[in-house]
Structure 1
């Protein structure tokens, strides 16, 4: 009996954990994919505003509707409504897929991470500068980032971006 109860609790908490992890980053991941559909920074900004407005309003309304159906009608209809909403969303995604701007991956992100770590280790004894001009700032045509002085968080990685004369 004890083993059965522990197994049930483990499954319950594991399910809650997986649901939290699965839904916790979804809006932010989808937002970046959606923003890649636009070329202009202004259009991306407008997309972010409307995306998050829609996410939060729809989650509030859907929570109220689902709770109302559960309490006043039936659980079976509630599961049917959830299933129908998911199927409509999936169908919309599949039908609109041909209109998406597909961004091809450009190299491995792990390679860049390893390069930064190796550069930070090699330059670990270099004196860190507070001048912005002493650091590498890579920009491309699609992303404009305001160049700033290095931050105090992850200070050991600042040496990786420092311009030095390596012998």
Structure 2
């Protein structure tokens, strides 16, 4: 949210960005360069955007899937159907938002103003943040069990220990109890 707010401010406030270069293409070397403060602000904006994206994108799908019960139920269980519906709607909404971003928002930024385009994005992010926080009491909060570093370390140790093992002649031994009758086994990724 902070990254979008700062990005919108850089489009709104002329002192936060270099002036426009109206010179012909051959005289581009005479355009005003960004000051150290403007560069620092841009790097801060990018840092906030990086941290926000890295924290939200990988967690949103998993958090949404955590809202459905996982215990019990067979293949046709109600919760399984709800979970599948969630993923369908999640990918649909992500695709629609991407489509709107590369059409409507870019049109606004190209033909109306950059500040309005960034402002629309900031306003939509503010609305989504308010809705998320308002519904926080309704969410299922699963407490973490153990350290994430333990599982990572176990995988790394197992990978190092099994690095030079040869493949078994029977492909069924590669799968832990799963059927592999129609799964081809190749050495391509070895």
In structure 2, distance between residues paired with 1:47 and 1:97: 18
Which range is displaced more, 118-127 or 49-58?
118-127
In structure 1, distance between residues paired with 2:57 and 2:85: 16
Which range is displaced more, 73-82 or 22-31?
22-31
Cα displacement string for residues 84-105 of structure 1 (whole angstroms, at most 9, x for unaligned residues): 1111011011101111111110
- For residue 61 of structure 1, what is the aligned residue in structure 2? 100
In structure 1, distance between residues paired with 2:83 and 2:51: 26
Cα displacement string for residues 29-86 of structure 1 (whole angstroms, at most 9, x for unaligned residues): 3112111111222221111111011111122113322122223322332232222111
The within-5 A match list for 1:1-167 is 23=53, 26-39=56-69, 40-119=79-158, 129=168, 130=170, 132=172
Structure having greater relative contact order (Cα 8 Å, sep ≥ 6)? 2
Shift in CA distance, 77/115, structure 1 to aligned 2, threshold 3 Å: closer
In structure 2, distance between residues paired with 1:151 and 1:28: 31
Q: Which has the larger radius of gyration?
A: 2
Instruction: Give the RMSD, CA atoms, in angstroms.
Output: 4.0
Contact 1:27 1:55 in 2 (8 A): no
TM-score of the two chains, using structure 2 as the length reference: 0.53
In structure 1, distance between residues paired with 2:116 and 2:160: 59
| Structure 1 unmatched ranges of 5 or more | 138-145, 156-167
Shift in CA distance, 67/98, structure 1 to aligned 2, threshold 3 Å: same
